Amino acid sequence: MSSDSLIIKPKKHYEILDGLRGVAAILVVAFHIFETFSGGNRFIQMINHGYLAVDFFFLLSGFVVAYAYDDRWEKMTQWEFYKRRLIRLQPMVIMGMIIGAALYYFQASDVLFPQIATMPVWKLILVMFVGFTLIPLTPSAEIRGWGEMHPLNGPAWSLFFEYIANILYAVLFRRFSNKVMTLFVVIFAGMFINYTVFGPKGDVIGGWSLNLEQMNIGFTRLLYPFFAGVLLSRLGKLIHIKGAFWICSLLITIVLAIPRIGDENTLWMNGIYESVCVILLFPLIVSIGAGGELKNPFSLKICKLLGAISYPIYITHYPLIYWYTAWVVDNKVALKDGYMLGIGVLIASIVLAYACLKLYDEPVRNWLQKKFQKRSVPVS
């Protein structure tokens, strides 16, 4: 085998999918800002289904991973695959924890986070270093009081599950035929429907704590969308329409912003809505996005920018949300009085993400790629 055959050549990017990831990430920030004013009531939350962006991310991730790696395993070991995924994701996991630790004491709240004021610095630093590894903390060991597995940066829970999905793909699911994969995807869809429609809450909110209930939610949210994305990539059933990016952006915005369906006595109605969104609408949106073309230079620039900052926004914005939530709750701020600062938090999240991308993430990833990812090694 020649040395050239060991080189894993990059494939073209789906710029529209990158752009959609950015649109969803910004909507997540907006969702969390509005959530501050809901008083924990999921029935009145604005941008009500913003949490489904995580399920959309899982589906996008499965699609992109399968597209990038399904046909490369003859040139690539599992360790090479893991290196590539770690280089792509882990630097910003570390930065998210550092930002979370830097802002931790500014988030002190007599109502929400009373233990912050008395938390010793050594314990904060220890939790930060554990967070670098994405090893989850038990509810009794975390330092905020919300029971999060990553209390310095809550959204890191989805990266924990993302890594689990990548391991499952590399060890097992990549070996399955499309028929076997379809069977598993159908089973996972059934699990999703069972939890949302017949479960206790009528939604899939959760997944961020290390206990049986929350881990069940996390795996329910992970398994269908990620492996449906893998299957969708393999099948190649893409939809080609004009204006795909703008159409898909509108669709994902509508899906995430729709008010809660039903009430406390009809939880199953919202469960049906979420099942339809995740099982049917999200794959449809990805099919349209992957099948679209960007001929307008402006749209191409927008997609590239949104794609570049999407992951940094998602993984760094929440320490700002902790602070903003503490300010709103402690001062009993109404939406009409706090929305301007909320807009400031949104803008700050985007600026922070872009700064992290250019000053840290891209340079670090480029260095790691040059040092550890020059060539692939053939499977022994």
What is the residue extent of each domain of the chain?
A: 17-369
- Provide the pLDDT confidence category of residue 40 given band limits of 50, 70 and 90: confident
Size (the chain), residues: 380
Q: What is the pLDDT of residue 160?
A: 98
Instruction: Kindly report, residue by residue over 115-130, the tens digit of the pLDDT.
Output: 999 999 999 999 999 9
pLDDT exceeds cutoff 80 at 12: no
pLDDT exceeds cutoff 50 at 4: no
Mean pLDDT of the chain: 94
| Residue 215 CA: distances (Å) to CA of 9, 68, 130, 138, 331 | 37, 28, 19, 12, 34
Please state the rounded mean pLDDT for residues 68-75. 93
Instruction: Kindly report, residue by residue over 246-266, the tens digit of the pLDDT.
Output: 999 999 999 999 999 999 999
pLDDT exceeds cutoff 60 at 213: yes
- Provide the pLDDT confidence category of residue 10 given band limits of 50, 70 and 90: low
Q: What is the pLDDT of residue 374?
A: 54
Q: What is the pLDDT of residue 268?
A: 97
Instruction: Kindly report, residue by residue over 289-336, the tens digit of the pLDDT.
Output: 999 999 889 999 999 999 999 999 999 999 999 999 999 999 999 999
Q: What is the pLDDT of residue 373?
A: 78
Q: What is the pLDDT of residue 274?
A: 98
Q: What is the pLDDT of residue 13?
A: 80
Enter the pTM of the model. 0.94
